[in-house]
Amino acid sequence: MDEILSTKAREEDRRKSGRLIAEYLRYLRVEKGLSANTLAAYGADLARLAELASERQKDLCTLDRDEIVGIIADIKRKGARDATLSRFISTLKGFYRFLVAEGLSKHDPTSFLEARKAWQTLPRFLSSEEIEVLLRQPDGSHDLGIRDRAVLELFYATGMRVSELVGLDVSDVDWENGAVDCYGKGSKYRRIPIGSVALDYLKSYLPARQRLLDGKMSDHLFVERGGPRLTRQKLWKLIKEYGRMAGIDYITPHMLRHSFATVLLENGADLRSVQMMLGHSNIGTTQIYTHVTSRRLLDSYKKFHPRS
């Protein structure tokens, strides 16, 4: 009998946690205008928290400070990266602030926490030589190869996020002035200049795009055969495959974004301009790249200065 009651209580806790999470995600979508990808990440973090709370026979409103510490320690012990842990803590803090503000919980067990700095792991990027080899991998003798070269060139030329790149429409490109209109996190708008090389590849791709559409109408800039929009998942696969062909052991789409920011700063761009092009709301996020360039300067000094 006790076991049945315990099972029922845990199920009720799960339902209550699910309702609270849904309410918070609805608030983030409607009031904050966060993107679907960001909402999915927050939802996954909170679902993980709810599961760990259930294992402790608690719901989200009855977790206390010590239990939050234990949950974070468990996640860290299981190999979570600093960036992942930082996002998890930020998600928890925002969630509990919302619950208290809405009168859904009487206490905030995360009030003592400080969001961990993700700077502990510097971003990985590609060298100029690796970038050049990567860009040459698509086969320009067929339409999909022409598309993929245009995708890679635009990716490296603008530093856009994957979701921003695949979400572009033809009308988002200013073909005359060499710029792209981008709608990033929270539907925030920014305009990013495109270099002449990337713009030329984009223009060369347009006839291939028409052939891929095969007579169909579409606003999407980057399309698959028959007209569907190129997806985030497919772009990930393409970059990993082209990276393998280029002899690059490890590559992610975000490394092209990191490479874009790093090369700008190394060649004298000011931090504020890079922040605007990347679409960072906080310049502190952009400053991580100054750590990368400073480290490279130090490495060069140690390697080449006779009295280093």
Q: Tell me the catalytic residues.
A: 161, 185, 254, 257, 280, 289
Distance CA 301, CA 168 (A): 42
Contact (CB, 8 A) for 198 and 153 = yes
The 3-state DSSP class for residue 193 equals: strand
The 3-state DSSP class for residue 46 equals: helix
Contact (CB, 8 A) for 269 and 261 = no
Sheet with 189-193, side-by-side order of all strands: 173-174, 179-183, 189-193
CB atoms within 10 A of CB 182: 20
Q: List CB contacts of 49: < 8 A, sequence separation 6 or more.
A: 60, 71, 92, 95
The 3-state DSSP class for residue 281 equals: coil
Closest-CA residue to 161 (of 139, 131, 190, 118): 190
